[in-house]
Amino acid sequence: MTDKARAAQAAGEFHRLTGDHPEGIWEAPGRVNLIGEHTDYNGGWALPFAIDRSTVVAVRRRPDHVVRVWSANLGQEAAAPIRDLDPARASAQPSWARYPLGVVWSALGRGADLPGLDISVTSTVPLGSGLSSSAALTVAVAVAVNDIAGTAWGVEELARVAQEAEARFAGVPCGLLDQLAALGARRGHAVLIDFMSLSRELVPLGPGPLVVISTGAQRANAAGAYANRRAACERAAGVLGLPTLRQASLEQVEARLEGELLRRARHVATENARVMQAVRRLHDRQPLGDLLTASHVSLRDDYEVSCPELDLAVGTALREGATGARLTGAGFGGCAIAIGVSAEALAVPVAKAFADAGFKPPTVFDVEPSERARRLA
């Protein structure tokens, strides 16, 4: 669908819901992280790209200091007076609505002058599947609010607004990877993000299929396990006397840490090195599949965030001719990415492998490196 068609569809939906026309339409993409997992909150590097699945919001100001949000995907709506927007009361809202309402709360806290808002949301990012549907939503609302309030925030501030909404209002701890990917990526490129300086550099991805295998698996306490990994990294940096694991060399890690902290920190140190190697290979037009597969092994064995479904997805993709494959995103379920093989070639063997293992049917689809968040109309 073209930009124009997506905008028209969102405007039509808004009109159906409110009887009015939106002031504007904004869009933010989901993301796949090519490599650099669990490095963002360690001040390291990652190399995500935006995908051709996105969240579109249609927005209009309303004078009565109420924020009303609709989800076309869920067929639900929620509302709150602006004065009641408060993380302490967020749990009274349906969980999906905490993301857009949290963005409004965060923007107000940073001085944005907003009356009430009507916001309708439609999304083609599969919800809660590890492709950052939540950042697509918070970033889409953040860029809308930025334009409507005239705050002129740049990429970093917008990413922080979106992250604060997710962390404080929706109660999901996260780094800045997903938000910066949605705000900084460009068509045909991945974006190298340095999480120390938050600087970004575009890296051309070249041709070649990029395939997502969505396992549909979701571990029960993924948020708790994520927080636990972060805490272990902070402890490991503390033992090494470093501000973050970004500064840790593999030699230091292997010489001075043991047990769980050794494994977690070894993943971070080797993963940062793999990101840099991947960037060099892309610039030199060299294959990088082995780096992706090594990242998966490290996430599985050292960081311990894989699961049987992800391991099966990666193993099957490699057996069927992928040059590299890995889990992408936080892990504990969600998606894997495979390169060097088409979705068409993978769909049947992956479905069969999942059926044989007694797992839920997965979904396999091609993704295209796509454009960052922006105003559509």
Residue ranges in contact with ligand GLA by CB under 6 A: 37-38, 40-41, 174-175, 177-178, 329-330
Q: Which two tokens stand for residue 315?
A: 């193993």
CA distance linking residue 246 with residue 268, whole number of Å = 8
The upper half-sphere exposure of residue 157, i.e. CA atoms within 13 Å in the direction of its Cβ, equals 13
CA distance linking residue 169 with residue 100, whole number of Å = 9
In angstroms, give the least distance from the CB of 174 to ligand GLA. 3
In angstroms, give the least distance from the CB of 163 to ligand GLA. 8
CA distance linking residue 69 with residue 13, whole number of Å = 12
CA distance linking residue 168 with residue 129, whole number of Å = 21
E strand intervals along the chain: 24-33, 45-46, 48-62, 66-71, 76-81, 116-123, 189-194, 200-204, 210-218, 324-328, 333-339, 363-366, 374-375
In angstroms, give the least distance from the CB of 182 to ligand GLA. 11
103 vs 177 by CB, closer to ligand GLA = 177
> Counting runs of H as helices and runs of E as strands, what totals does the chain give?
11, 13
Q: Quick check: is 3 catalytic?
A: no
Q: Which two tokens stand for residue 60?
A: 């209009």
140 vs 330 by CB, closer to ligand GLA = 330
37 vs 118 by CB, closer to ligand GLA = 37
In angstroms, give the least distance from the CB of 4 to ligand GLA. 31
Which residue in 133, 192, 174 sits closest to 335, CA to CA? 133
The helix/strand/coil state of 342 is coil
In angstroms, give the least distance from the CB of 131 to ligand GLA. 9
40 vs 371 by CB, closer to ligand GLA = 40
Q: Which of 40, 118, 178, 302 is catalytic?
A: 178
In angstroms, give the least distance from the CB of 238 to ligand GLA. 19
CA distance linking residue 214 with residue 82, whole number of Å = 37
Give me the active site residues, please. 178
